[in-house]
Each structure stands twice: as C-alpha cells, then as structure tokens.
Amino acid sequence: MIREVTAIVNRRPVPPNATELLHLVQSSLEDDKAENVLVVDLHGKSTMADYLVIATGRSARQVGAMADHLLLKLKERGVPRLSVEGETTCDWVLVDGGDVIVHLFQPEIRRFYNLEKMWAMALPESPERAAAGA
C-alpha cells in the first residue's frame, strides 16, 4: 500500500521487485517467441543479481527486437539504471535490469559460450536437435 501511495505522490512507477521483474522478463520473451528460455536462481550463488535469464533468438533481427521490447517494458515499469551491451551485432545482447540479468543469444553463440555450464546446468535441447537425436 505504501509503495502505491508513494508512486501516486511522486508520479513515478514503483520499480518492480525481483520476482515481478522476472515475470515481466519471461512474459516479454514469451511474447517475442524466444526459444530455450532458462532461468537461473542466483540466491545463495551470487550477489550480482537475484536471477539470470538466458534465451535464444533465431537471428540477429529477433535478438535485437527481443532486447528492444524488453528494454521498453522495463523502462515503462520504472526499472532504474538499465544497462545494455551488444546491440550493435545482436549475436549476444546482455540486458542488466539490476535484480534480473538477461542474456539473449543467437543459437551458435549460445552453444559456444555455454553459460549454463558455468552455473552447472544442462544446455536446453532445441526441438531440432531433439528430433535429430530421436
């Protein structure tokens, strides 16, 4: 209740908490048809953020569009101090939303860097690779 009153008085949106921010990110990526979305809960593993989200886009155009749409939605929700890296080539775009850090990759770049391995998680199977192995 106090957050809403403060927002009304200041005429600024109240920044979402980490869980709300994660849901916003997931919703945006789902709307943009991101593939192999993986959420890493960083609680107890790192102090840099609460969640790390890794997702794949099929092309530089899709990765760039996903980043642009996500940035717009985060700004609209009042997320302070947004930072973006990699928008010039869009093979790997990092969106730092504070409590949630988002990595958007093209498939070959995601396989090369394999951030999931850093967090001891398996790389999600793409539908094409799963079908080829069956």
Domain with residue 82: its CATH number is 3.30.460.10
Q: Report whether pLDDT(6) > 90.
A: no
- Which tokens in the block code for residue 128? 């094409």
The whole-model pTM stands at 0.78
How would you classify the pairing of strands 35-41 and 51-56? antiparallel
46 assigned to some structural domain = yes
62 assigned to some structural domain = yes
Structural domain of 53: 12-122
108 assigned to some structural domain = yes
How would you classify the pairing of strands 92-96 and 83-85? antiparallel
Which residues, in sequence order, are bridge partners of residue 39? Answer: 53
Instruction: Catalogue the E-assigned strands of 3-98.
Output: 35-41, 51-56, 83-85, 92-96
19 assigned to some structural domain = yes
CA distance to 28, 50, 119, per residue, from 45 (Å): 25, 9, 9
Q: Report whether pLDDT(132) > 70.
A: no
pLDDT category at 12 given cuts 50, 70, 90 is: low
pLDDT category at 47 given cuts 50, 70, 90 is: confident
> Tens of pLDDT along 94-118?
999 988 999 999 999 999 999 888 8
Q: Which of the two residues, 6 and 120, has the higher pLDDT score?
A: 120
28 assigned to some structural domain = yes
